[in-house]
Amino acid sequence: MIQIPWLTADSLDFPPSSSALAEPDGLLAAGGDLSPARLLSAYRRGIFPWFEPGQPILWWTPNPRTVVFPDQLHISHSLRKVLRRGDFTVTSDRAFAEVMQACAAPRAGASGTWIGPAMIDAYTELHQMGYAHSVEVWRDEQLVGGLYGLVLGKVFFGESMFSRADNASKVAFTHLARQLAEWRFAVLDCQVASDHLFTLGAQEIAREDFEQILLDCAHTPSLKGPWSLSATRDW
């Protein structure tokens, strides 16, 4: 039987990341709540919640960590053509709730979603506080793609993205990464690996290296409030 610490409601402390399980990778603790104070405390340590509705809250810190350094974003030739055509309009913080709901919707080949009502409520509250942000991709005024995540200092913690049109999530991610590079963000955290992310320049780094980035860059003042992405780009 897997044994992990149980978090109590009266403390925001987490176990050291070195105690996280290797299998399943990065499982650190269970319990606690999704209050803003606990979530911010977790992210500053490289810890995030990931659980299915009806389960106890599970807290993770995988090793290695998948990240994109914004100035090392990779844009393929085919994606560059999509960006230059201008088929999509890209905004930020215009439809945060709709983006979360779209990310929570059932997907082909998946039996459920980990973005339940409690997660939506928690991150919507962080959005209202200026910590969580969304990027939206529109075609003919229809929301066809997007992503959302959390910002601390010069670190963007990506949570989830969705696509209802070819390349829409990649367009959202690319616009975000370019903007983060302009704002001199240190890293865009992607949490865990996927082929989709590797096509955009994602790489895996050791957990201790990621934690050092957080110590250096996640404790500076955060860029709060509604974001505005640069309207024009040279792709």
Q: Could you give all domains of the chain from N- to C-terminal order, each with its CATH number?
A: 6-62 (3.30.70.3550), 66-217 (3.40.630.70)
Q: How confident is the model at residue 199 (pLDDT cuts 50, 70, 90)?
A: very high
> Across all residues in the chain, what is the average pLDDT?
94
Q: What pLDDT does 222 receive? A: 85
Q: Is the pLDDT of residue 149 over 90?
A: yes
Q: What pLDDT does 2 receive? A: 74
Q: What percent of the chain has pLDDT over 90?
A: 85
- Average of pLDDT values for 100-115? 77
Q: Is 64 exposed, middle or buried (0-12, 13-18, 19+ CB in 10 A)?
A: middle
Categorise residue 38: left if φ over 0, alpha if ψ from -120 to 50, beta otherwise: alpha
